[in-house]
Amino acid sequence: MTEPTSRRRFLKTCTAAAGAGLLQACGTAPASNNAPSAPSHPVAKARTVYPKPPRHSNSVDNLLRIVASSGFAEDTNRVNTALTRLYNAGFTVTNQQAGSRRFQRFAGTDAQRAADFQDVASGRVAMPKVLMGLRGGYGAARILPHIDFASLGARMRERGTLFFGFSDVCAVQLALLAKGNMMSFAGPMAYSEFGKPAPSVFTMDAFIKGATQNRLTVDVPYIQRANVETEGTLWGGNLSVLASLAGTPYMPDIDGGILFLEDVGEQPYRIERMLNTLYLSGILGKQRAIIFGDFRMGNIRDVYDSSYDFSTVVNHISRTAKIPVLTGFPFGHIADKITFPLGAHARIRMNGNGGYSVAFEGYPTLDASALTLDTLLPPPNLPIFPESGVADISE
């Protein structure tokens, strides 16, 4: 059989199977009665990357579903790069069309973006081993009421599904923890990291370790003002998103937890205002510690008082909330970021040099033997150097 003939038969089979959920690139998400089904700004279609068959006939450990809860992907070439890189890593990538959808500023209508998750929650599509956010931006909060998080969380627990995302995607992750009692992962996303022409090797290596090892310890060498020895559920995400969910049913009620926070492009007073929202709503008072990731402050200064900086905010919130605060955790809108669980048990310990470590346990992992994750890394003779603090404005 010639390759063109094989491809035509494959596409014919895909069209017949649309809606079955095994190859979402051949189907379309259901349209809403309340929203137009066609994007107001058409974009070029991403090239479909055809999945490999699973290495083991009874294994679906390589099934990955793209979920686009927020902004649309501007560059289809970057989408194709992400799909190809994930394909080469051994994943069968489904719902690929999410990377080429657009409605206004979003990656599809509210109904389409909600269906990325609700089709999984309802059993309409095959339960994947991985849910991976396309990118951040804005829009996830709009779809929260349209997702059955209790069913989604139950199905994810049964399957041991890993959900990777950050930035605006953490609105879905927080709702999943609050209403579905299911953890997720702060980690790289399809367009944001896997779609880069040259992804950070540090980030790719951290993704492999964080996703495949059943225990993870993150060492932070920076000297801290607080001396913290505690443990609890580590949760959180983007500060702006958390503040926007305060007082809603989608904010987790974690008592005795460890709250992780990151953000980007905010002046110190705005960071403090959002932290005060969490404090006044009673959230901070329930935590045993706060861990700040990278806020990408750079040259950002308070427009009224340039001496009112990020450290001033950190000191104020620690005194006000009466809980210890740690800084320097290697995650945020930066090129080099680790992958770590949100909603899992964590232990904080200080080291002998003024820094600290966070040890995680009790979370689902990928079966590395069913994948080819080493394709995400350069040849073994090339060293891996982190580029800490390097900016990454993509989400």
Who contacts 388 (Cβ-Cβ below 8 Å, separation ≥6)?
A: 330, 334, 336
Return the active site residues. 167, 262, 333
> Exposed e or buried b for every residue in 117-143, given b needs 16+ CB within 10 A?
bbbbbeeebbbbbbbbbbbbbbbbbbb
Burial of 27 (0-12, 13-18, 19+ CB in 10 A): buried
Show the 3-state SS of the chain: CCHHHHHHHHHHHHHHCCCCCCCHHHCCCCCCCCCCCCCCCCCCCCCCCCCCCCCCCCCCCCEEEEECCCECCCCHHHHHHHHHHHHHCCCEEECHHHHHCCECCECCCHHHHHHHHHHHHCCCCCCCCEEEECCCCCCHHHHHHHCCHHHHHHHHHHHCCEEEECHHHHHHHHHHHHHHCCCEEECCCHHHHHCCCCCCHHHHHHHHHHHHCCEEEEEECCCCCCCCCEEEEEEEEEHHHHHHHCCCCCCCCCCCEEEEEECCCCCHHHHHHHHHHHHHCCCHHHEEEEEECECCCCCCCCCCCCCCCHHHHHHHHHHHHCCCEECCCCCECECCCCCEEECEEEEEEECCCCCEEEEEECCCCCCHHHCCHHHHCCCCCCCCCCCCCCECCCC
Chain centroid, CA 156 distance in Å: 15
